[in-house]
A = this chain, B = another copy of it.
Amino acid sequence: VALHDVDAAGILFFGHLFRHAHDAYEAFMADIGFPLDRLIREGAGKLPLVHAEADYALPMRHGEEVEARLQVESLGRTSFTLSYRFLDAAGRECASASTVHVYLAGDPSGLTAHPLPKVLRTLLQNWTAVSAED
């Protein structure tokens, strides 16, 4: 929790949690071999968020170490849902969040929801399985 993350009350500004969730998402996508920057540059499709939500249980203070854990919550035909848990050094859940991403493709002037690319579906599925075993 950096100085620019907290507000005058000394705790994480709620909106910044989504920045950290997205950092975890970007790191995850790069890890599984589907980096977002390549997707955006190649222009084949987009994965915009259509929903985001978060619950805040404990204040996250300046200087605290908070770990973000990401999980593939569900995998639809054209979308997927990720969930995030934010844990402090003692392992307590400070916050949780989830984001829903939909795959848009087609001609640039009229992007519509498309089935997730096979490679992405497989990558996410593998990861769901691994996660489910834990």
Say if the beta carbon of A118 comes within 8 Å of chain B: no
**How long is the Cα–Cα vector from A15 to B48 in the complex, in angstroms?**
12
Instruction: Judge whether B62 and A8 touch: CB under 8 Å.
Output: yes
Say if the beta carbon of A18 comes within 8 Å of chain B: yes
Scan residues 59-73 of chain A and give those whose CB is less than 8 A from a CB of chain B: 59, 61-64
Taken together, the copies of this chain in the complex come to 4
Q: How distant is A23 from chain B, measured CB to nearest CB, in Å?
A: 6
Interface residue from B3, B53, B59 paired with A22 (Cβ < 8 Å): B3
Name the segment of A36-44, A83-91, A121-129 touching the other chain.
A36-44
The closest CB in chain B to the CB of A37 belongs to B63
Contacts of A64 on B, CB cut-off 8 Å? 37
Contacts of A21 on B, CB cut-off 8 Å? 15
Q: How distant is A55 from chain B, measured CB to nearest CB, in Å?
A: 5
Contact A51/B55 with A2-B23, A3-B13, A23-B2 known, Cβ cut-off 8 Å: yes
Other than the known A3-B7, A9-B40, A51-B54, what 12 A-B pairs have Cβ atoms closer than 8 Å?
A: A2-B23, A3-B13, A3-B22, A4-B19, A6-B8, A9-B46, A10-B41, A15-B15, A15-B18, A30-B63, A48-B56, A50-B57
